[in-house]
Amino acid sequence: MSGIIDKQGLMMYWAFDEETGASALESVSDTLDDVQYVFNQAQFTEPSTPQWRQGVSGNGLLFDGYSTYIAHPAHGEQRNGEPEYLSTLSIGVWVAPRTYEWGYEGKLAAIVNRHNKDVKQGYLLGMFRHGSWSFQIGLEGGEWKELWSPDGYELPKNEWSYLNAVFNGNDGAMKLFLNGSEIASAAVPRGCRMAAAVDKDLLIGRNNHSSKLVEAFSLHMFGGIMDELKIYNRALSSEEVAASYQEVLAAHGGDKPQVKHDDIKLDRTPLLADRHRPQYHVSPPAHWMNEPHAPIYFDGLYHLFYQHNPQGPYFHHIHWGHWVSEDLVHWRDLPIALAPEKDQLAPDGIWSGSATYDADGLPVLFFTAGNDSASPNQSVALARSTYSLDKDPELVHWIKHPEPLIVQKKGMGLFGDFRDPFVWKDDDGWYALVGSGTEGGGGAALAFTSQDMLSWTYKGPFMEADIQKFPYLGPIWELPVFLPLGSDKEGVSKYLLLVSPVGKGADVEVFYWIGQLDKQSLSFLPDQEEPQLIDVGDFHFTGPSGMVDPKTGRNIVFTIAQGDRTSELEYQAGWAHNGGLPLSVYLREDGQLGIEPIQELESLRGAKLLSIQKKSLAEANDLLKDVQCDMLEIQLELESSTAVQLGIKVRRSPDGEEETLLYYDWNDSMLVADRSKTTQHSGEKCSGVQGGKLELLGENLKLHIYLDRSMVEVYANGLKSLTTRVYPSRMDALGLEIWGTGELLVKSMEIWEMKSIW
């Protein structure tokens, strides 16, 4: 009987049972609607259709959160440019949200809408912050009515919920139903009518009035799976809503259907063929990341987290993504570890932090809690693993401590800038550095101590910038990292401090000092005042985090490799940024900082493509002609005879119209990447010359190079790295060529093809 009732007054119905393709049938009008999706016409990867998943009845459509939506042309709701008025309207739909939007400008992420709020016309059903949801309509006479879900009736992520919104102008009521039961109602004037929005198409998954971000992204879009969307020109009764819900449950043995994680998770498959996306560098499955952070080793597994927007490839509502690995090389995607929630701790963002161990040796996460209703809106907070409760072996589940642990007070650094805690533990307790600045001065790392990991004492600045001498160190420091380097030749214990300056005048790079720790005052005494750079690639090696690997005793540093693309290209690509290769950093015999990619990366070597010794430039280049690849490891030693500049061209087209030149200048002692011919694509930003000082002191030039599609990482003589990005337009820009301004000898060169970690 319910199936017969179900069709009475049915104006529109999308069953989403297509399973494949880029269109969805609206069965009442027998209209095939196009499903908009970024990869329908892919620019950098193989074209693919929208993602169809298991629904509550047959299939459902997965909306990616930023590009997927349906526009259904309006029919029969206006006469001579005037709106038609409806006395009754009902919407029923099953949704499984994957993400919640932040709620920019107070707008809803639309599930379905055809509205114009400016003129108080139409209707809108959508979601808001933290899973709240609302049904909104424009009434005849210019009144806009909103009905919101009450507290406790938010839509859970990654689960099916059945929503019904009912407008009954005849009886003077609006109602919301969740999973077959009424949860909210509001009175409207009895006998009122809804005014249809005459100038709008019906949109599924996208707001009629979405806001633009960085000119490329429309906000307020639904992310998750949708199924069985029905719109009626009558008011469904409570009994009909309940019957429709029970009908679906009956088809699933009396239980609400479950969503498989593999059905709703972000899927990296469409991106594996992207000709610019690195394949052996760690990355999110899709969408946006900034810095990886909080590395920790526990129970045989390495964990690494990262700043992540699961809604799309743009910087917005930040969560903690999560990877796990057995070898620091092959990573697996795990569910999001920490997300903003409807609380007073971090409703507006889970920003960067670190990981350490509690008194029982269990992992804990320290993070920057974003709460825009507080002043300052940044504080230090903690989350504990549920390992001791449910033996969660991969540390998937985390529980936040309900209150912030460290709240900035006036006089504690630069008020309002207080973030990125780096926490470590020794036999005397726990220690924390927090990025900030000094009032009227430069950036600073602030120091704190604790005996119980919950109550913290401020000790003052750990170190602060002399902004008069070094203005590039900026007014604010982010992401402080502090690692022990062991003893020097005189037996003095040395440490490494990394910081990332930001703010007016700052050079946003990873700067470091080697020095000593004054544990009594909890301050850092650098060996030399002037900071050094690990990487000279100009903003492509940023966002540092680090750990002492308990398994090997090494200090390992992780970074973000910035993408260097326009927002429009990141929209088209479906991803933004990736991690750099993990680095081992250590104190060399000569007192300098040693920098090397971790040895475990050798496990990615495939076929050895070349191995030569003592060849002239011409001989080497003749042998290099057959090496055509964009995923390589190269070890190269060059000895200069008369060449003042010498190096190698990578990602080179056969005619040299596109190429990137990596070289060393003996006169200026500079390691350089020349990208003036890197790409002919008019939209790509990568261009110009990057580089920095490298003193070789008579050594031959020894380059260890990793090419991974758009990633180029150069490690020179174990002393400096140069990280950059390249996006050649030509598909044949795959070659290599040794280069010099005079005579040189290729003392040795080995090249391996590299395998994907995915």
Calculate the CA dihedral of residues 272, 302, 714, 733 and round it to 10 degrees.
-10
398 close to 386: Cβ distance less than 8 angstroms: yes
pLDDT at 79 over 50: no
> What per-residue confidence (pLDDT) applies to 3?
52
Dist. CA 197–CA 210, nearest whole Å? 16
Tokens of 360: 């029982």
Terminal C-alpha separation, the chain: 50
> What per-residue confidence (pLDDT) applies to 1?
36
> What per-residue confidence (pLDDT) applies to 388?
85
666-721 pLDDT, tens digit each: 999 999 999 999 999 999 999 999 999 999 989 999 999 999 999 999 999 999 99
Tokens of 710: 């758009």
> What per-residue confidence (pLDDT) applies to 75?
60
316-369 pLDDT, tens digit each: 999 999 999 999 999 999 999 999 999 999 999 999 999 999 999 999 999 999
User: What percent of the chain shows pLDDT beyond 90?
Assistant: 96
Residue 428, C-beta contacts closer than 8 angstroms, at least 6 positions apart: none
> What per-residue confidence (pLDDT) applies to 414?
97
pLDDT at 387 over 80: yes
pLDDT band at 80 (very low <50, low <70, confident <90, very high): low
Dist. CA 142–CA 420, nearest whole Å? 48
564-601 pLDDT, tens digit each: 999 999 999 999 999 999 999 999 999 999 999 999 99
Residue 696, C-beta contacts closer than 8 angstroms, at least 6 positions apart: 664, 666, 669, 717
Per-residue b or e along 564-603, where b marks 16 or more CB atoms closer than 10 Å to that residue's CB: bbebebbbbbbbbbbbbbbbbbbbeeeeebbbbbbebbee
Strand order in the sheet with 398-400: 349-357, 363-370, 378-385, 398-400
Triad 562, 565, 566: Cα angle to 5°: 135
401 close to 425: Cβ distance less than 8 angstroms: no
> What per-residue confidence (pLDDT) applies to 487?
97
* Backbone torsions φ then ψ of 720, nearest 5 degrees: -140, 155
Residue 602, C-beta contacts closer than 8 angstroms, at least 6 positions apart: none
Residue with tokens 């009895």, as numbered in its chain: 190
Residue with tokens 């927007």, as numbered in its chain: 309
pLDDT band at 199 (very low <50, low <70, confident <90, very high): confident
Structural domains in the chain, CATH included, are 2-32+51-264 (2.60.120.200), 298-599 (2.115.10.20), 605-754 (2.60.120.560)
Average pLDDT, the chain: 96
Type and span of the H or E element at 247: helix 238-251
Largest CA distance in the chain: 94
pLDDT at 430 over 90: yes
Type and span of the H or E element at 639: strand 631-640
**Secondary structure (DSSP) of 585-633:** EEE-TTSSEEEEE-GGGGGGEEEEEEEEEEEEHHHHHHHHTT---SEEE
pLDDT at 81 over 60: no
437 close to 499: Cβ distance less than 8 angstroms: no
222 close to 63: Cβ distance less than 8 angstroms: yes
Dist. CA 483–CA 363, nearest whole Å? 18
Type and span of the H or E element at 240: helix 238-251
Type and span of the H or E element at 355: strand 349-357
Residue with tokens 């493509």, as numbered in its chain: 609
pLDDT at 640 over 60: yes
Question: Which of 294, 603, 547, 600 minimizes the C-alpha distance to 420?
Answer: 294
Dist. CA 453–CA 428, nearest whole Å? 12
Triad 682, 687, 692: Cα angle to 5°: 170
255-266 pLDDT, tens digit each: 999 999 999 999
Read off the pLDDT of each residue in 74-103 and give the average, rounded to a whole number.
83
Q: Among 333-337, 387-391, 608-612, whose mean pLDDT is lowest? A: 387-391
518-565 pLDDT, tens digit each: 999 999 999 999 999 999 998 999 999 999 999 999 999 999 999 999
Question: Which of 311, 323, 226, 231 minimizes the C-alpha distance to 579?
Answer: 323
Helix residue spans in 310-382 (DSSP H):
none
Dist. CA 47–CA 504, nearest whole Å? 42
The β-bridge relationship of strands 701-708 and 631-640 is: antiparallel
Dist. CA 340–CA 335, nearest whole Å? 14
pLDDT at 78 over 50: no
Identify the bridge partners of residue 555 per DSSP, sorted by sequence position: 548, 585
pLDDT at 76 over 70: no
Taking CB atoms within 8 Å and a gap of at least 24, the contacts of 32-36 are: 33/70, 33/71, 33/72, 34/70, 34/71, 35/61, 35/68, 35/69, 35/70, 36/67, 36/68, 36/69, 36/70, 36/71
Residue with tokens 């504690």, as numbered in its chain: 412
pLDDT at 2 over 50: no
Task: Give how far Cα 154 sits from Cα of 36, 186, 227, 257, 534, Å.
Answer: 28, 18, 19, 18, 47
685 close to 564: Cβ distance less than 8 angstroms: yes
Residue 641, C-beta contacts closer than 8 angstroms, at least 6 positions apart: 742, 743, 744, 745
Identify the bridge partners of residue 547 per DSSP, sorted by sequence position: 556
Question: Which of 92, 25, 106, 75 minimizes the C-alpha distance to 196?
Answer: 75
Task: Give how far Cα 233 sits from Cα of 3, 7, 76, 86, 142, Å.
Answer: 17, 11, 12, 7, 20
Task: Give how far Cα 558 sits from Cα of 98, 290, 331, Å.
Answer: 28, 12, 14
176 close to 183: Cβ distance less than 8 angstroms: yes
Dist. CA 509–CA 692, nearest whole Å? 12
Query: What sign results for the dihedral spanned by CA atoms 601, 603, 604, 608?
Result: positive
